[in-house]
C-alpha cells in the first residue's frame, strides 16, 4: 500500500505525543493542550522552515505553536535574529482576524514596560499570511519550566508573580486587559526578566464588543479563566479577571495542579463557569497560610471578593512573604536569573540551531 505524503513524520509526531502524555500522567499533571486535531497545524508550522518572508526573514526553527499562530526563530537578511509570529493560515483569510493580529503588536507596545515583549514590525507574507516581528527572547517559557519541574519552588513562583503584577499594573493603568494570562504566555528571559507574551485577545477596556469574541476562536484557556470569562460575559471582565488568571497561574505553578481538573476542555469550562476554585491548601497543604490566603482571594468566585487592582495584590503578596518567611520577597532579575542558571537554562544559545530547552510544544515539533 502506498504511504500518504508526510505519513512518516506524522507517525513520529504521534509517538512523541504519546510519550509526552505518558510522562505527564506519571507526574499526575493533567494532560491538556496536546490534541490530535493540533497535529496538522504542527506539521504545517514545520513545513515553513527555510522559507523567506518578504525577501527578508528566513524562518529557521519553530519556537512554539499556540492557538492562533506559530512562532519561529528567523534571521533577517542583515543577519539579526528575531522571533516571527505567523497567524495560522486558516485564520489569515479572515480580514478581521488579520486586523486583530496587527492590533496585538500595537497593544503590546502601548504598555511600554520591559516586561512586555517588544513588537517591531508587522506585514503580510507573499502567500497572504499575516505575521509580526518581535524581539527574540532567550530563556524559557514559564509553561516549559513548569512542565519540566511539575511545580516551582514557592519563592520563585512568588517572584514571577511579583514581576507579573508590575507589568499588569502598567497595562491596567493604560486601560489594557490581557485576558489570557497563563504559564504558556509568560516567558522568563535568561536575564531574569519576566516577559508577557500574546496580547492576541487583549483589549482596551472601553472598546465596544467586537465580532472577534463572537467568532468563538481563542477565547482564553479554561484552566486559567475566571467564571465570568468562561461564561462568555465579556462585558464583565475587569482588572480582577487578569488577577484571577494570575491567581490560577500561581495555584498551578505552586501545586502542580489546575484549579479545575475536568477531563477535557468542555468539562473544565463548565466547572470554571459554575464552581468556586478549591482552596490552595486542599492540594498544597504545606504552603504558608498567609500566601495561600492571597491566592485564594484572587481566585474568589464573586468579583467583589477579589483584589481590585494589581498594586493591591502585589502589596498583599509581599506582605504575605514577609509574614511567612520573615524577610522581604526578592523578585529581582538577578535572583531569577541565578535560579535559571542553576537549572541550566542560561546562558542563552547563540546559534539559530542551538539546542533550546524542551517545551511542551517543542517536544511536539522536534526537528526532523
Ligand X SMILES: Nc1ncnc2c1ncn2[C@@H]1O[C@H](COP(=O)(O)OP(=O)(O)O)[C@@H](O)[C@H]1O
Residues recognised as catalytic: 180
* Binding flag, residue 198, ligand X (CB under 6 A): yes
Tell me the closest approach of the beta carbon of residue 97 to ligand X, in angstroms. 12
Residues 172-211 close enough to bind Mg ion by CB under 5 A: 185, 198
Residues 153-192 close enough to bind ligand X by CB under 6 A: 184-185, 187
Residues 6 or more apart in contact with residue 330 via CB below 8 angstroms: 155, 159
**Measured between alpha carbons, how far is 9 from 7 in angstroms, rounded to an integer?**
5
CA dihedral of residues 295, 300, 304, 308 (deg, nearest 10): 30
Tell me the closest approach of the beta carbon of residue 130 to ligand X, in angstroms. 12
Nearer to ligand X by C-beta: 137 or 194? 137
The count of C-alpha atoms lying within 13 angstroms of the C-alpha of 237, restricted to the half-sphere facing its C-beta, is 33
**Measured between alpha carbons, how far is 145 from 255 in angstroms, rounded to an integer?**
14
134 contact, one of ligand X, Mg ion, none, CB 5-8 Å limit per kind = ligand X
Nearer to ligand X by C-beta: 104 or 162? 104
One residue of 116, 170, 197, 250 binding ligand X per CB under 6 A: 197
* Binding flag, residue 138, Mg ion (CB under 5 A): no
**Measured between alpha carbons, how far is 184 from 161 in angstroms, rounded to an integer?**
14
Nearer to Mg ion by C-beta: 200 or 247? 200
* Binding flag, residue 306, ligand X (CB under 6 A): no
* Binding flag, residue 64, Mg ion (CB under 5 A): no
User: Which among 91, 84, 124, 121 has a CA at the least distance from the CA of 106?
Assistant: 121
* Binding flag, residue 68, ligand X (CB under 6 A): yes
* Binding flag, residue 125, ligand X (CB under 6 A): no
- Could you say which DSSP state residue 177 is in? E
At residue 203, the 3 state secondary structure works out as strand
Helix axes 154-173, 310-325, angle to 10 degrees: 160
Q: Which stretch in 61-69, 156-164, 291-299, 323-331 sits in contact with ligand X by CB under 6 A?
A: 61-69
Q: List the grid coordinates of 103.
A: 492590533
Helix (H) or strand (E) holding 64, with range, is strand 57-65
One residue of 29, 63, 66, 225 binding Mg ion per CB under 5 A: 66
Residues 69-98 close enough to bind ligand X by CB under 6 A: 69, 71, 83, 85
User: Which among 294, 309, 287, 268 has a CA at the least distance from the CA of 153?
Assistant: 287
183 contact, one of ligand X, Mg ion, none, CB 5-8 Å limit per kind = none
* Binding flag, residue 63, ligand X (CB under 6 A): yes
3-class SS letters over 287-305: CCHHHHHHHHHHCCCCHHH
| 168 close to 199: Cβ distance less than 8 angstroms | no
Nearer to Mg ion by C-beta: 185 or 229? 185
Residues 128-147 close enough to bind ligand X by CB under 6 A: 134-137, 141
Residues that bind ligand X (CB under 6 A): 63-64, 66-69, 71, 83, 85, 117, 134-137, 141, 184-185, 187, 197-198, 200, 359
| Contact footprint for Mg ion (CB under 5 A) | 66, 185, 198
Amino acid at each position: 500500500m502506498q504511504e500518504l505524503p508526510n505519513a512518516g513524520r506524522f507517525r513520529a509526531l504521534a509517538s512523541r505525543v504519546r510519550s509526552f502524555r505518558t510522562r505527564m500522567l506519571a507526574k499526575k499533571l493533567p494532560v491538556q493542550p496536546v490534541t490530535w486535531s493540533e497535529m496538522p497545524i504542527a506539521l504545517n508550522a514545520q513545513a515553513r522552515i527555510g522559507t523567506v518572508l518578504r525577501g527578508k526573514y528566513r524562518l529557521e526553527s519553530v519556537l512554539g505553536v499556540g492557538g492562533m499562530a506559530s512562532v519561529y526563530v528567523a534571521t533577517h537578511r542583515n543577519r539579526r535574529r528575531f522571533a516571527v509570529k505567523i497567524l495560522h493560515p486558516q485564520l489569515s483569510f479572515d480580514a478581521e482576524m488579520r486586523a486583530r493580529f496587527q492590533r496585538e503588536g500595537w497593544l503590546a507596545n502601548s504598555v511600554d514596560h520591559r516586561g512586555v515583549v517588544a513588537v517591531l514590525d508587522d506585514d503580510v507574507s507573499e502567500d497572504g499570511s499575516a505575521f509580526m516581528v518581535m524581539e527574540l527572547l532567550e530563556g524559557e517559557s514559564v509553561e516549559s519550566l513548569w512542565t519540566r519541574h511539575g511545580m516551582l519552588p514557592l519563592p520563585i513562583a512568588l517572584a514571577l508573580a511579583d514581576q507579573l503584577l508590575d507589568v499588569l499594573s502598567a497595562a491596567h493603568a493604560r486601560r489594557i486587559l490581557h485576558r489570557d494570562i497563563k504559564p504558556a504566555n509568560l516567558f522568563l528571559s535568561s536575564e531574569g526578566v519576566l516577559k508577557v507574551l500574546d496580547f492576541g485577545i487583549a483589549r482596551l477596556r472601553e472598546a465596544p464588543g467586537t465580532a472577534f469574541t463572537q467568532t468563538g476562536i481563542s477565547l482564553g484557556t479554561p484552566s486559567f479563566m475566571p467564571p465570568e470569562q468562561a461564561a462568555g460575559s465579556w462585558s464583565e471582565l475587569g482588572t480582577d479577571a487578569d488577577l484571577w488568571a494570575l491567581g490560577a497561574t500561581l495555584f498551578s505553578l505552586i501545586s502542580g495542579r489546575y484549579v479545575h481538573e475536568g477531563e477535557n476542555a468542555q468539562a473544565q469550562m463548565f466547572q470554571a463557569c459554575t464552581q468556586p476554585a478549591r482552596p490552595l491548601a486542599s492540594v498544597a497543604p504545606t504552603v504558608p497560610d498567609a500566601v495561600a490566603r492571597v491566592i485564594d482571594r484572587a481566585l474568589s468566585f464573586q468579583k467583589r471578593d477579589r483584589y481590585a487592582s494589581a498594586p493591591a495584590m502585589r502589596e498583599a503578596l509581599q506582605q504575605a512573604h514577609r509574614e511567612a518567611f520573615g524577610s522581604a520577597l526578592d523578585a529581582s532579575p538577578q535572583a531569577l536569573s541565578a535560579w535559571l542558571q542553576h537549572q541550566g537554562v542560561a546562558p542563552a544559545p547563540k546559534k539559530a540551531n542551538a539546542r533550546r530547552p524542551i517545551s511542551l510544544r517543542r517536544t511536539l515539533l522536534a526537528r526532523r
